[in-house]
């Protein structure tokens, strides 16, 4: 239930990994050049891109873990207090029913 990722997150991660691969490819190509400046430039870009990609991946995992923990807490609460869960569900149902009823009456 909480393992879903949006298409935008998947595209962002794919783009980040693709950019990282391109930067590392540039780094490997620069090893063949004799210029030390080219080598240092490519290396610093690769390190920066790697740090940025790792930070994004760890951030996403942290949010996913918090969502899983919240789901586990809700599941535990409902399992230990089933009638509270039924009451909360009924209250939400009555509220949504009242909203639908008022919306339907205002159209008439």
DSSP class of residue 2 equals -
Which DSSP symbol is given to 108? -
Distance CA 69, CA 75 (A): 10
Q: pLDDT grade, residue 60 (50/70/90)?
A: low
Q: Is the pLDDT of residue 35 over 60?
A: yes
For the chain, give the percent of residues with pLDDT over 70: 75
pLDDT at 108 over 70: no
**What global pTM score does this model have?**
0.38
The pLDDT tens digits of the residues spanning 66-100 come to 888 888 888 888 888 889 888 989 999 999 999 99
In this prediction, residue 51 carries a pLDDT of 79
3-class DSSP string for 3-41: CCCCHHHHHHHHHHHHHHHHHHHHHHHHCCCCCHHHHHH
Mean pLDDT over the full length of the chain: 76
Whether 8 has a pLDDT exceeding 60, the answer reads no
């Amino acid at each position: 239930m909480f393992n879903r990722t949006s298409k935008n997150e998947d595209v962002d991660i794919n783009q980040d990994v693709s950019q990282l691969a391109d930067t590392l490819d540039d780094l490997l190509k620069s090893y063949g050049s004799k210029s030390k400046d080219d080598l240092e430039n490519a290396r610093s870009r690769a390190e920066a891109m790697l740090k940025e990609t790792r930070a994004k991946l760890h951030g996403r995992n942290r949010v996913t873990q918090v969502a899983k923990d919240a789901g586990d807490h809700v599941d535990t609460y409902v399992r230990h207090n089933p009638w509270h869960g039924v009451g909360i569900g009924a209250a939400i149902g009555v509220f949504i029913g009242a909203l639908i009823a008022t919306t339907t009456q205002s159209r008439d």
